[in-house]
Amino acid sequence: MNFYIETNRFILREFRETDLDDLFELDSDPEVHKYLGNNPVKSKEDIAKGIEFVRQQYKDSGIGRWIVEDKETGEALGWSGLKYETSDIDQSKYYDLGYRLKRKHWGKGIATETSEAAIEFGFDNLNLKMISAAAHKENGASNHVLQKLGFKQTNEFLWEKEPCFWYDLPLSVYLEKTLQS
Ligand SMILES: CC(C)(COP(=O)(O)OP(=O)(O)OC[C@H]1O[C@@H](n2cnc3c(N)ncnc32)[C@H](O)[C@@H]1OP(=O)(O)O)[C@@H](O)C(=O)NCCC(=O)NCCS
């Protein structure tokens, strides 16, 4: 399954085997994994398995995270987008918004810009009624991005003994926000 979505600065597309080196740069960085369980990837074999896993999700669920490609340089900067997930709170299924970017590209509004496109895709193309997300309580950037996008914190839970916030963005809130802008 192929995806192609354009934002102002980025192309959002499916994971490919050729993304191996860029994803290794991303996932071998301990700073990137600071709020993700502190377990950065050690081998490119694990990245290759991860790419296959995401490509299988496209087939099984019709959606999965997207590579964020810089329109000017062609560099794969990381990933962003939706995933059909199992909740850590009650094991129910839901659509999760997430993002992970190479450290050198943090602070340029990339998570915000690409998430806006993913949210639009989820509500307009997948006809979702709700998109949810989770972030470690101390992950200031991620919590800020979610709140800026209109997500409301509705719960708290422990993931691998780490305190996390749970967020929801219902379709009604998205529509209201879209009408106002
Ligand atoms: C989380 C992450 C994707 C954010 O990406 P990004 O492209 O830098 O995010 P943006 O630039 O769109 O927005 C970041 C916002 O958070 C703010 N911010 C940054 N650090 C912050 C902090 N410690 N506390 C509060 N706000 C913070 C920025 O000022 C910016 O807000 P603004 O646009 O209102 O100024 C990036 O830091 C990352 O890849 N982290 C590692 C992986 C990760 O933690 N993923 C999320 C898991 S839940």
Whether pLDDT at 180 is above 90? no
Sign of the C-alpha dihedral computed for residues 69, 87, 131 and 60 taken in this order: positive
The percent of residues above 70 in pLDDT, for the chain, comes to 100
Ligand 1 binding site (Cβ under 6 Å of any ligand atom): 32, 35-36, 99-101, 106-112, 135, 139-142, 144-145, 148
Q: Whose CA is nearest to atom 27 of ligand 1?
A: 141
Number of domains comprising the chain = 1
- Give pLDDT, residue 1: 85
Substitution candidate for ligand 1 out of 108, 112, 143, 151 with most atoms within 8 A of CB: 112
Confidence of residue 84 (pLDDT cuts 50, 70, 90): very high
Question: pLDDT tens digits for 124-165?
Answer: 999 999 999 999 999 999 999 999 999 999 999 999 999 999
Residue 81 CB-density burial (10 A; 0-12 exposed, 13-18 middle, 19+ buried): buried
Q: What is the CATH number of the domain that holds 66?
A: 3.40.630.30
Beta bridge partners of 167: 133, 153
Whether pLDDT at 181 is above 90? no
Tell how far the Cα of 144 is from the centroid of ligand 1, in angstroms.
Answer: 7
Question: pLDDT tens digits for 100-116?
Answer: 999 999 999 999 999 99
154 contacts: CB under 8 Å, gap ≥ 6: 166, 167, 168
Instruction: Note down the domain range covering 52.
Output: 4-180
Other C-beta atoms closer than 10 Å to the C-beta of 89 total 16
